[in-house]
Amino acid sequence: MKSWRYLLPLITATMLVIPALRAAEPLSVVANGEVVGSVVVSEQQGKTQIVYRVDDNGRGPKLTTELQLGDAGIPLSLSVTGTSLMGGQVAEHYRYHQGVAEWQSQADSGKQSLTAPRLYIVNDSNPWLLGVYARALLAQPQHRLKVLPSGELSLQSLPQQVLGTGAQQLTLQVYRLTGLSLQPSYLMLDQQQQLFAVFSATGVTLRQGYEAQAGWLQSLAGDLETSRMRELQQQLAHQPSAQPLRLVNVHVLQVQQGQRTGLMSLQIKNGLISAIEPWHAGQHYPGETVYDANGGTLIPGLHDMHSHSTLDSGLWYLAAGITSTRDMGNDNQFLLDLIPRIDSGEIAGPRIVRNGFLEGRSPYSARDGFVVDSEQDAVAKVRWYKKHGYWQIKIYNSMNPAWVPAITREAHRLGMTVTGHIPAFTSPDQMIAAGYDEITHANQLMLGWLLHADEDTRTPLRLTAMVRAADLDLNSEQVQRTLSLMQQHHIPLDPTAVILERLMLSRAGAVTAGDKPYLSHMPIGYQRYRQRTFVPGLTPALDKQYHAAFNKMIALLGMMHDKQLQLLPGTDDTTGFTVLRELELYVQAGMTPAEAVRAGTLDCERYLGREQQLGSLEVGKRADMVLLRDNPLDNISNIRSAQMVIKDDSYYFPAEIYQALGVSPFALPPNKL
């Protein structure tokens, strides 16, 4: 399951508008150097039509938008039809008539009386509309606009860029658009204010004929975001200078025993835990930076064992209490550049363990890491990953199964292990025999029991076929045979149950159980994006089956826990909120809260081989911890109450991070004494 992060700046944009311009030039969508989609704009009988198509890794939005502008360039009506990322049906409509704005989308419906048309945030949008959006904002004195259904957008001008020479030279104005989603959007307008590009560090949509410039634009996005992240790190990271840092009036969770101490005082010097001792009211600590935890609970830093790092994911992770991640596939050069910046303290972020992504060449290839064309090439890339400090190899869906034994042999020879999806037209049992040391995603495991031999998991079938799990007998011979193989070979599962919950159970106009605790705090565009149906062709009967299938997956995780098979909490996401939900789902599957916290802390460090330094709160270990307002042993959901996060010689207050990111905080910082 590949992250769709390069699509997010494109599909959460809004609509809207300004006076008519010359016909827009078509755009290409580029991911990892390859064209994976297009945006074509035309005028038909006074209406603007935008056809947006993406086909990457067997999925992507396919949308047709039609809008009609009023005299002021604001849409009086618009419609969006087609399918969203995973094939879910889209039918969105907006109309302003006689002082009333009305809309209907996957997320919601509404009606509002207005004296004039207002910009409407479309739930299923496309990159071209960001240019229209920017022009609407440029017409405002402060470059800010209140929008429908709610919220406010702002536009910041950044330095111009010059592209090409001679007659082909273009002077392009760069802008940063914020207030819409979790990350800002970057875009370029030419001197006629036509859209030239929408770009990020992981993907680009740009004018056709300029596809060769996609790499340059990604680098520019990286530079702009790095600058922003550097400024935020300077603003949000706290250091106690030469003074020790101390937390008092605090309980310490001993994850080995699953117990909480009485009220303690914990001291940190030079990034290490230097003392844990009983605390009594009235004690003084001259020459130290002291915070009163007010009876809160300290736990070790949490882990996301299935991440796809971005420049700004670090702050989201730290705010949620996640101090370590395992990157399961990325642009290799981007990741090699990112990690030293985090480790040096230039920008904020968790510790990152890097996995080397290997994919085979096919029409469905995912485009992270390396896409290989031969067994020899695949083995050579394993050596490249080892040389560059990667911890593990991750194999993806289009890999030729016949090449896997050679890949795993070379990885094992070099002291690496192998995880991944189950390549198309094979099974978990076969990949265990071929040398897999771990399996990624619960659906990749379960599809081996649900699919026919000729069914292709390179397509969205790897999600939709999960509905068949509703009738799966977990005690059947085939299920138990695979679990026995996993026991014999000590093979853990990285379930990413949270992302499967989101993809299988998200419904138009509703908020999933995993999103309810935090979604109302988020920017309006993200709130609306989370309220949609991903699975296609949904009927009441099919909806019931999907819920039954998801419950069967949770039961499988409980069975695996009973069999002492390790579950590695991962998310395929970057917000941190999903890590917290993953652990809630483990408790739902049968773990105790203490076992779930240990699964997300010490057990991960033991798997990574770093338990001598990290994973538990002990004198001499690295300072890596989260102060929770509430006790997670009472209720696992109390891990959502982070007040302070400490990583080595820096500490952060989640409330400050969330405010800087446009999110309403969840818990106040502790008091400084």
For 147-182, the pLDDT digits (tens) are 888 888 899 999 999 987 787 789 999 999 998 888
Alpha-carbon Rg for the chain in angstroms: 25
pLDDT value, residue 207: 94
Cα gap 530→182, rounded to integer Å? 12
Is the pLDDT at 46 greater than 80, yes or no?
A: no
What lies within 8 Å, CB to CB, of 225 at 6+ separation is: 200, 201, 311, 312
Mean pLDDT across the stretch 199-209? 89
Q: What element of type H or E holds 486? A: helix 477-489
CA-closest candidate to residue 533, choices 144, 204, 121, 92: 92
Is the pLDDT at 45 greater than 80, yes or no?
A: no
> Of 313-317, 339-343, 457-461, 483-487, which gets the smallest average pLDDT?
457-461
CA 487 to chain centre: 30
* Residue 235: Cβ-neighbour burial (10 angstroms; 0-12, 13-18, 19+): exposed
DSSP symbols for 133-153: HHHHHHTSTTSEEE-BSS-EE
| pLDDT digits 0-9 by tens, 393-429 | 999 999 999 999 999 999 999 999 999 999 999 999 9
Mean pLDDT across the stretch 491-504? 97
Is the pLDDT at 1 greater than 60, yes or no?
A: no
Mean pLDDT across the stretch 484-489? 98
Mean pLDDT across the stretch 219-232? 92
pLDDT confidence band for 72 (50 / 70 / 90): low
pLDDT value, residue 68: 85
CA-closest candidate to residue 300, choices 646, 651, 660, 658: 646
Which one of 3.90.1150.10, 3.20.20.140, 1.10.1740.10, 3.40.50.300 gives the CATH number of domain 302-614?
3.20.20.140
pLDDT value, residue 152: 86
From-to residues of CATH 2.30.40.10 in the chain? 243-300+615-673
Mean pLDDT score across all residues of the chain: 91
Q: What is the pTM of this model?
A: 0.87
pLDDT value, residue 182: 86
243-300+615-673: CATH architecture: Roll (2.30)
User: What share of the chain has pLDDT > 70, as a percent?
Assistant: 96
The better pLDDT of the pair 137, 566 is held by 566
Is the pLDDT at 380 greater than 50, yes or no?
A: yes
Is the pLDDT at 122 greater than 80, yes or no?
A: yes
pLDDT value, residue 509: 87
Is the pLDDT at 596 greater than 70, yes or no?
A: yes
pLDDT value, residue 53: 95
Residues in a beta bridge with 644: 627
Is the pLDDT at 335 greater than 90, yes or no?
A: yes
Q: What element of type H or E holds 503? A: helix 497-505
The better pLDDT of the pair 353, 136 is held by 353
Cα pseudo-dihedral 111, 132, 14, 185, rounded to 10:
-150
Is the pLDDT at 258 greater than 80, yes or no?
A: yes
Q: 580 to each of 318, 323, 472, how far by Cα in Å?
A: 12, 13, 28
pLDDT confidence band for 44 (50 / 70 / 90): confident
pLDDT value, residue 17: 37
pLDDT value, residue 4: 36
> Of 32-36, 101-105, 561-565, which gets the smallest average pLDDT?
32-36
pLDDT value, residue 3: 39
Pure H helices in 173-260: 214-236
In the chain, the amino acid numbered 234 is Q
Mean pLDDT across the stretch 307-314? 93
User: What share of the chain has pLDDT > 90, as a percent?
Assistant: 74
Cα pseudo-dihedral 439, 440, 442, 448, rounded to 10:
-50
Dihedral-angle region of residue 473 (phi above 0 means left; psi in -120 to 50 means alpha; beta otherwise) = beta
Q: Is 586 helix (H, G, I), strand (E, B) or coil?
A: helix
Is the pLDDT at 52 greater than 80, yes or no?
A: yes
From-to residues of CATH 3.20.20.140 in the chain? 302-614
Mean pLDDT across the stretch 290-298? 97
Cα gap 240→407, rounded to integer Å? 47
pLDDT confidence band for 23 (50 / 70 / 90): low
pLDDT value, residue 10: 35
Is the pLDDT at 278 greater than 60, yes or no?
A: yes
pLDDT value, residue 480: 98
Among 141-145, 327-331, 365-369, 522-526, the range with the most confident prediction by mean pLDDT is: 327-331
| 124 neighbors 90 (Cβ within 8 angstroms) | yes
pLDDT confidence band for 73 (50 / 70 / 90): low
Residues in a beta bridge with 26: none
| 325 neighbors 350 (Cβ within 8 angstroms) | yes
Is the pLDDT at 129 greater than 90, yes or no?
A: no
CA-closest candidate to residue 436, choices 476, 392, 477: 392
User: Hey, what are 239's tokens?
Assistant: 């250091």
